[in-house]
Amino acid sequence: MEHHSHSNTLKIKSLGIDTYRENTVFMRSDCHICRSEGFTALTRLVVHYKRKRIIATLIVVHSDLLRENEAGLSDIALKRLDVKEGDLITVSHLKPIESLSDVRAKMYHKKINEAAYRKIISDITNGFYSDIEIAAFITACAGDNMDLDEITWLTKAMIDSGSKLKWDEKIILDKHCVGGLPGNRTTPIVVAIVAAAGLIIPKTSSRAITSSSGTADTMETITTVNLSIEKMREVVNKEGGCFAWGRSAKLSPADDILIAVEKALDIDSSGQMIASVLSKKAASGSTHVVIEIPFGETAKVRTHEEALKLQYYFKAVGHAINLNVEVLITDGSQPIGRGIGPSLEAMDVISVLRNDPNAATDLKERSLIIAGALFELSTKFGKGKGYLEAKQILESGKAYDKFNKICLAQGGFTEPTFAKHKIEIKADSSGTVISIDNRKLAKIAKLAGAPHYPSAGIYFSSPIGSKVEKGQTLFTIYSESEGELQYAVDYLKSIHSILKIA
């Protein structure tokens, strides 16, 4: 037991500071506790309130932001400790976190056991690790440092870190795309086709972190995606499929924490990635999963060799955790669809489902391949028959009908709309579009307001290979305010070119 005297007590002041996931405690530099305990910046402390305790990183305050005997907590820390302004907390030193010694062993390239992974993930989920400690764990696991056993143990630990869904049906389908291409919104189409065939696909998706839209953002322009586990189950029981935001279902919460630090480090270790994907799938109760790995120069996976290696691990770890995994290695050389931004991508999806003659054929094709693979993996249809069955279900209108029914079950169907303001960007010469800078296009969509304003973004009317005349519209920027539209146009003017016409 740690020792607390009453002199360790501080009164909470609410500062409204959002440090995202990291628990932070703000204390005055001249406070009794800081001085006597010898706390310095980067110190980790235990903050107690009644029977709860959290571990938090100290930030020292020199101003009158806090009065004597006051302490502040970041928003997430207030929530985790369940305290409000005026409550009395106590603060004490942190004893070493035991699982960090396993992280150190991993830094030294030792194989660590299943119990170690379980403890590390449990401590991370409980908020006991600082961001730099999480960064050390991620780095120690990168560079092919984990063998097949370890990836499997990490996956299992992540599955057990959160809720798990159980379904009555024997076969539960799911899909995932590794390092999704811009506009690659196959998910809603695949779910509609698969559910229309009478199969079960309780799909959860993520929101954008740094991109202009995630699948959950896109689907939110059409229906409610913030479903509780109970609501999700209700929708799936009724319609066979759903479009839910993953985070709201609290599946594999450790994964969300690890991903945030990985994004900040801009690394994607294959072991962590496999554990991340498969843990989410297993936690959601899936039994059969199709994983798409697009490879290409500007995709996340650069080479065919790398894609093959990932394929092996996905299948082997899947086998070890009783998940039937099929891996599709696909072309990742260019983006898919035309919209960039939640509503505009939703329009792409709906066009394909409605069999609109102007629908993006690349998006349709990719969706049919994935749905076909799911059909064959589930043994609903025999080898070589999946694609054609998927095409028949889509083109007959059954998939669109199912899509509508799922949306209604989730809370309603709203037709996605264009934003109020727009500007058309025209070709300044005639010729054929030979290349597109997707990163710059995505940046313009973000400057225009996506995903914060769902209808903001870009509608792209001239994919690679299009023949264009001088003065013809290449793409249209949409925005909810003149100010943001101008902001996007200013940026566009400041860069050289976004499309090459030759």
Q: Does 261 bind a second copy (CB under 8 A)?
A: yes
- Phi–psi pair at 107, nearest 5 degrees: -55, -35
Nearer to a second copy, 143 or 471 (CB): 143
The catalytic residue among 87, 131, 160, 268 is 268
Nearest of 350, 323, 326 to residue 337 by alpha carbon: 350
Nearer to a second copy, 47 or 261 (CB): 261
**Interface positions, 403-442, toward a second copy (CB under 8 A):** none
Nearer to a second copy, 60 or 316 (CB): 60
As a three-state string, the secondary structure of 243-256 is EEEHHHHCECHHHH
Nearer to a second copy, 7 or 435 (CB): 7
> Given candidates 68, 82, 111, 143, which one binds a second copy under the rule CB under 8 A?
143
**Interface positions, 175-234, toward a second copy (CB under 8 A):** 208-210, 212
**In the complex, least distance from residue 297 CB atom to a second copy, rounded to whole angstroms:** 16
Q: Does 111 bind a second copy (CB under 8 A)?
A: no
C-beta neighbour count of 231 within 10 angstroms? 18
Give the DSSP letter of residue 23. Answer: -
Nearer to a second copy, 88 or 94 (CB): 94
C-beta neighbour count of 62 within 10 angstroms? 9
Structure tokens at 478: 């949409």
**In the complex, least distance from residue 452 CB atom to a second copy, rounded to whole angstroms:** 5
Q: Does 365 bind a second copy (CB under 8 A)?
A: no
**Interface positions, 323-342, toward a second copy (CB under 8 A):** none
Nearer to a second copy, 76 or 189 (CB): 76
Rounded CA separation 34/26 (Å): 11
**In the complex, least distance from residue 467 CB atom to a second copy, rounded to whole angstroms:** 31
- Bridge partners, residue 277, by sequence: none
Q: Does 37 bind a second copy (CB under 8 A)?
A: yes
Is 480 in contact with 419 (CB distance < 8 Å)? yes
Nearer to a second copy, 270 or 286 (CB): 270
Q: Does 483 bind a second copy (CB under 8 A)?
A: yes
**In the complex, least distance from residue 301 CB atom to a second copy, rounded to whole angstroms:** 15
Residue 268 annotated to the active site: yes
> Given candidates 51, 67, 84, 108, which one binds a second copy under the rule CB under 8 A?
108
**Interface positions, 436-465, toward a second copy (CB under 8 A):** 446-447, 449, 451-452
Q: Does 26 bind a second copy (CB under 8 A)?
A: yes
**Interface positions, 49-88, toward a second copy (CB under 8 A):** 59-65, 75
> Given candidates 139, 161, 187, 215, which one binds a second copy under the rule CB under 8 A?
139
**In the complex, least distance from residue 465 CB atom to a second copy, rounded to whole angstroms:** 30
**Interface positions, 114-133, toward a second copy (CB under 8 A):** 130-133
> Given candidates 51, 67, 109, 166, which one binds a second copy under the rule CB under 8 A?
109
**In the complex, least distance from residue 318 CB atom to a second copy, rounded to whole angstroms:** 24
C-beta neighbour count of 349 within 10 angstroms? 28
Strands (DSSP E) contained in 319-362 are 324-331, 339-340
Q: How far is CA 251 from CA 54, 132, 326, in A?
A: 22, 24, 22
Nearer to a second copy, 299 or 501 (CB): 299
Secondary structure (DSSP) of 431-491 = EEEEEE-HHHHHHHHHHTTTTTSTT-EEEE---TT-EE-TT-EEEEEEESSHHHHHHHHHH
> Given candidates 94, 148, 229, 267, which one binds a second copy under the rule CB under 8 A?
267
Q: Does 168 bind a second copy (CB under 8 A)?
A: no
Q: Does 312 bind a second copy (CB under 8 A)?
A: no
Burial 149-173 (b: 16+ CB within 10 A, else e): ebbbbbbbbbbbbbeebebeeebbb
Secondary structure (DSSP) of 181-230 = PTT---HHHHHHHHHHTT-BEEEEE---SSSS--HHHHHHTTS-----HH
> Given candidates 41, 230, 297, 465, which one binds a second copy under the rule CB under 8 A?
41
Kindly give, in sequence order, each residue whose CB lies less than 8 Å from that of residue 305, ignoring residues fewer than 6 positions away: none
**Is 148 exposed, middle or buried (CB count within 10 Å of its CB: 0-12, 13-18, 19+)?**
middle
**In the complex, least distance from residue 341 CB atom to a second copy, rounded to whole angstroms:** 11
Rounded CA separation 26/11 (Å): 11
Give the DSSP letter of residue 425. Answer: E
**In the complex, least distance from residue 65 CB atom to a second copy, rounded to whole angstroms:** 6
> Given candidates 10, 15, 25, 56, which one binds a second copy under the rule CB under 8 A?
15
Nearer to a second copy, 55 or 353 (CB): 55
- Bridge partners, residue 243, by sequence: 203
Rounded CA separation 205/207 (Å): 7
> Given candidates 47, 78, 120, 136, which one binds a second copy under the rule CB under 8 A?
136
Strands 24-28, 70-73: pairing is antiparallel
Count, residues near a second copy per rule CB under 8 A:
74
**In the complex, least distance from residue 300 CB atom to a second copy, rounded to whole angstroms:** 13
**Which residues are part of the catalytic machinery?**
268
